[in-house]
Amino acid sequence: MHGFCDASQSAYGASIYMRSVDQDDGIHVNLLCSKAKVAPLHTITIPRLVLNGALMLSRLAKKASEALDTKFDRRIFWTDSIVLCWLKTPPNQLKVFVANRVAEIQQKRNSDSHMQQR
């Protein structure tokens, strides 16, 4: 499972792809699901919108895993470097908006999940 999230001033979103290898070592990649939301009317910085996308991705991945009832060899989620930095920081050291989202993402993350920079 590979998950991607990103944002712009007008929207943010997340998508999940399934990568599999068949018996003949052929690699197949398919879009499993995606979700997008329009950015709020009040101004939010791009890094915070990307963080919203990362939260959306973590929720989407959890639902997809539960719906498929499958054990994945690896789950890799791709996001921007600022979000990765926030995810490595204890939530109590962050401002409330960021801390709440980081705490939820950290709770959902399994030991076999990897957040990586794009």
Phi then psi for 110, rounded to 5 degrees? -90, 165
**d(C-alpha 67, C-alpha 75), whole Å:** 15
Cβ-in-10-Å burial (0-12, 13-18, 19+) of 113 comes to: middle
Residue-number span of the structural domain to which 34 is assigned: 2-117
Domain with residue 44: its CATH number is 3.30.420.10
Segment 17-38, tens digit of pLDDT: 999 999 999 999 999 999 999 9
Segment 38-75, tens digit of pLDDT: 999 998 999 999 999 999 999 999 999 889 887 788 89
Instruction: For residue 91, give the DSSP letter.
Output: G
**d(C-alpha 77, C-alpha 36), whole Å:** 16
Domains held by the chain: number: 1
User: What is the crossing angle of helices 46-68 and 96-108, to 10°?
Assistant: 20
**Which residues lie below 8 Å from residue 27, measured CB to CB, with a gap of 6+?**
19, 20, 21
Instruction: For residue 58, give the DSSP letter.
Output: H
In this predicted structure, the answer to whether residue 99 has a pLDDT above a threshold of 80 is yes
